[in-house]
C-alpha cells in the first residue's frame, strides 16, 4: 500500500491559478487532483492516456474538437479515450475542483515538458 496525502503531494501550476496535485503515479494509473480558476479553459489537447475527469466541486464543461460539449456538475464523470482531442472548462465565476485519472499513468513530466516547450496554447478561450 502507498498513501499520498493531499497536503504532501507533488504539485504543479501549468498556468496561474490552475493547480494540480499528484495523488498517485504508477505505471498503470495516475490520479491528479486539480483546481481550475473561474472560467479557465485548458487548451484543446490530446494524449496517449485514456482519461476520466470527475467533478468534485463547481461545474465544468467538457468539449471535443468537433464542438460537442457537455456540462458536468459535482459527481459527474467523463471518459476520454486515448488521443481524443478535448478541453475542460470551468463554467463558473468561482474555482471548480476535480479529479483526473489517467491510464496508463503519467508523471508531472507531461506538464513540465509542455511548459518548457511552450506547446500549450493559452490564447483564445480562457474566459
pLDDT, the chain, mean? 90
Which residues are within 8 A (CB) of 98 and not within 5 positions of it... i.e. 6 or more apart? 33, 34, 36, 53, 54, 55, 56, 57, 60, 88
Grid cell locating 114: 509542455
pLDDT of residue 121: 54
Q: pTM of the prediction?
A: 0.87
Over residues 6-22, mean pLDDT? 92
Residue that has been written with the C-alpha cell 503519467 in this structure: 106
pLDDT over 90 (residue 116) = no
**Domains of the chain by start residue, with CATH:** 10-106 (2.60.120.10)
- Cβ neighbours of 90 (radius 10 Å): 26
Nearest CA-CA partner of 103 in 51, 46, 37: 51
Per DSSP, the three-state class of 122 is coil
For residue 79, report the phi and psi dihedrals to the nearest 5 degrees: -110, 130
- Tell me the three cell numbers of residue 86: 478535448
Of residues 123 and 59, which shows the higher confidence score? Answer: 59
Per-residue pLDDT averaged across 18-23, rounded? 94
Q: How many residues does the chain have?
A: 127
More confident residue, 28 or 43: 28
User: What does the block give as the cell for 17?
Assistant: 491559478
Interior CA angle at 31 toward 19 and 20, to 5°? 5
Q: What is the pLDDT of residue 114?
A: 72
Amino acid at each position: 500500500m502507498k498513501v499520498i496525502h493531499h497536503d504532501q503531494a507533488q504539485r504543479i501550476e501549468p498556468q496561474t491559478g490552475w493547480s494540480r496535485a499528484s495523488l498517485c503515479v504508477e505505471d498503470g494509473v495516475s490520479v491528479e487532483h486539480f483546481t481550475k480558476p473561474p472560467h479557465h479553459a485548458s487548451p484543446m489537447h490530446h494524449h496517449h492516456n485514456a482519461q476520466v475527469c470527475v467533478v468534485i466541486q463547481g461545474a465544468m464543461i467538457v468539449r471535443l474538437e468537433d464542438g460537442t460539449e457537455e456540462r458536468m456538475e459535482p459527481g459527474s464523470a467523463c471518459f476520454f479515450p486515448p488521443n481524443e482531442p478535448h478541453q475542460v472548462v470551468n463554467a463558473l465565476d468561482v474555482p471548480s475542483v476535480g479529479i483526473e485519472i489517467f491510464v496508463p499513468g503519467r508523471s508531472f513530466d507531461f506538464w513540465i515538458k509542455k511548459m518548457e516547450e511552450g506547446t500549450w496554447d493559452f490564447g483564445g478561450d480562457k474566459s
